[in-house]
Amino acid sequence: MEVTGEESTKELRSRERILATAVVLFARQGFDRTGMRELARAADVNLAMINYFFGTKKKLLAEILDTFFSEYLTIARVELTGDGDVFLRLEKFISRTIYFFAARRDYLVVALTDLNHNDPDVLEYKAMWGRQMVEIVEQNVCGALGVTVTPKVMTPLLTSMMASRFLFSPVVEKISAGEADLPDFETYAQTVVAVFLHGVVPGSDSSHASV
Amino acid sequence: MEVTGEESTKELRSRERILATAVVLFARQGFDRTGMRELARAADVNLAMINYFFGTKKKLLAEILDTFFSEYLTIARVELTGDGDVFLRLEKFISRTIYFFAARRDYLVVALTDLNHNDPDVLEYKAMWGRQMVEIVEQNVCGALGVTVTPKVMTPLLTSMMASRFLFSPVVEKISAGEADLPDFETYAQTVVAVFLHGVVPGSDSSHASV
DNA sequence: TCCACAATTAAACGTTTGTTTAACTCTAGA
DNA sequence: TCTAGAGTTAAACAAACGTTTAATTGTGGA
């Protein structure tokens, strides 16, 4: 068939339907707790189609992770590199990343939870992406900021801060239905920017001056 | 046998050996990827002993999580409540928590990754602990700090910051063997305190004044 | 000594797992 | 019109899963 046309033939749709369904299920119930039959049923394809298109379940996961990490890394490269003001660059990076996390929340959850265990294979894969991320932060942020925090501490720290809203959201929403809910992403992005750059207390430089 | 003595009889040892081994394996390879037979072999007990002592695999996990969350909550109650200076209380809380995370790293990893999926049962369990944590922060931190950040945002944010060092450590260590490694916990605790209270840039109140 | 009972064991239970096979349908290109 | 090949299907594979059963061992208290 050769797929010379660009979209919507039935075969292409199956592949993408599997992919889209897999992200949702993996995020909701985890990679291991999601069976091939369950995924096939949810994506409305035959069981064998998953192995036909992706080979193995692990390779299906790998494709999801590649999508997420490459896009995340692109944002970091675009927003963090350059000669502009470091604070402005950080502000833009954090803001764009949070919007990215919001748009691809399921990808984020899969990447940070399913990936968080340490098969030697998976560990090497994670290190590959982490290395590039740390490198960008090291060469474009740490020096320009003139801080003592090392890039290997700062990178996970900032990533955790930006992601926490999305990783904890199911719990937080469950805590109190109706009451004051989570802020929109615009507000949340500003919060993370503010805390990361200036700390929780907004107006002060806060060397112990409370109550 | 009644277990009137306080320790070291063979039966007690089996139960605790299972528990200790489970935490390590669950943290390293995940709850689902760890089979009962594998756990039994690693703990050097018969397969049936796990169900004999804990009933089901899920209840074994629940015991691990209870241990972790109750201790974490105790620290929050002890260090965050009271009338002293908010900054000093936060500083002590962050410091003690990070030492706690370091001592119980495997527990932390199990609690934050294996628990991060959303079976309705698990979600309710997480909400139970999260609710108490948010309440403590709300009543003892947010008001005293006089900040606009809501407790439902601040609590996950701070927890993420404190935990990031431990969740990402396998990746970060893999990134470059030999080179400048992660800081000790004393230093890391100070870093989190500093960033959370004053932002990444130490000496300035940093309203755009770089390069 | 003997009894009651906790601990331990080997074996089997029925499901479910990810993957593979071989046959079949459909369609684009010669 | 015919054919090569991609898409799709039902069925089966061995392996691993969590759990249960029934029998055995070992020990403290009567």
DSSP conformation letters of A130-143: HHHHHHHHIIIIIH
Question: Which regions in chain A score pLDDT beneath 50?
Answer: 1-11, 205-211
Output the CA angle A204-A146-A83, nearest 5 degrees.
105
The closest alpha carbon to A14, from A1, A28, A32, A29, belongs to: A1
User: CA A48, C1' C20: Å apart?
Assistant: 9
Helix (H/G/I), strand (E/B), else coil: B64:
helix
Q: What is the pLDDT of residue B176?
A: 79
Least confident span in B73-77, B128-132, B141-145: B141-145
In A44-119, alpha helices (H): 47-54, 57-80, 86-103, 105-113
- Measured in angstroms, the CA of A166 and the nearest CA of chain B are apart by 10
Q: How far apart are the first and last CA of chain B?
A: 73
Q: What is the pLDDT of residue B121?
A: 82
Cβ under 8 Å to B: A residues 67-86: 85-86
Q: What is the pLDDT of residue B211?
A: 29
The percentage of residues in chain B with a pLDDT greater than 70, rounded to a whole number, is 88
pLDDT, mean of residues B91-120: 92
Walk me through the domains of chain A, giving residue ranges and CATH numbers: 9-55 (1.10.10.60), 57-198 (1.10.357.10)
pLDDT, tens digit (0-9, with 9 covering 90-100), for B147-160: 889 999 999 999 99
The closest alpha carbon to A211, from B45, B84, B153, belongs to: B84
The closest alpha carbon to A164, from A89, A65, A75, A98, belongs to: A98
**Could you tell me if B153 and A173 are in contact, meaning their C-beta atoms sit under 8 angstroms apart?**
no
The closest alpha carbon to A196, from A161, A153, A148, belongs to: A161
Q: What is the pLDDT of residue A8?
A: 37
Q: State whether residue B103 sits within 8 Å of chain A by CB.
A: no
Q: State whether residue A191 sits within 8 Å of chain B by CB.
A: yes
Q: State whether residue A29 sits within 8 Å of chain B by CB.
A: yes
Question: With 80 as the cut, is the pLDDT of residue B38 above it?
Answer: yes
Question: With 70 as the cut, is the pLDDT of residue B5 above it?
Answer: no
Question: With 90 as the cut, is the pLDDT of residue B115 above it?
Answer: no
pLDDT, tens digit (0-9, with 9 covering 90-100), for B136-186: 999 999 989 988 899 999 999 999 999 999 999 999 999 976 667 788 999
Q: What is the pTM of this model?
A: 0.90
Please name the residue that has the structure tokens 């199911």.
A170
User: Which amino acid, one-letter code, is at A117?
Assistant: H
The closest alpha carbon to B141, from B129, B130, B154, belongs to: B154
What residues in B contact A177, CB-CB < 8 Å?
Answer: none
Residue B2: how many CA atoms within 13 Å on its side-chain side? 2
pLDDT, tens digit (0-9, with 9 covering 90-100), for A51-100: 999 999 999 999 999 999 999 999 999 999 999 999 999 999 999 999 99
For B161, the closest of A146, A161, A202 (CB atoms) is: A161
Q: What is the pLDDT of residue B116?
A: 67
Q: State whether residue B118 sits within 8 Å of chain A by CB.
A: yes
Is B152–A175 a contact, with Cβ atoms under 8 angstroms apart? yes
Scanning every strand, the nucleotide with its C1' closest to A4's CA turns out to be C28
Helix (H/G/I), strand (E/B), else coil: B144:
helix
Q: How confident is the model at residue B10 (pLDDT cuts 50, 70, 90)?
A: very low
ipTM of the complex: 0.90
User: CA B65, C1' C5: Å apart?
Assistant: 31
Cβ under 8 Å to B: A residues 136-155: 144-150, 152-154
For B118, the closest of A28, A147, A211 (CB atoms) is: A28
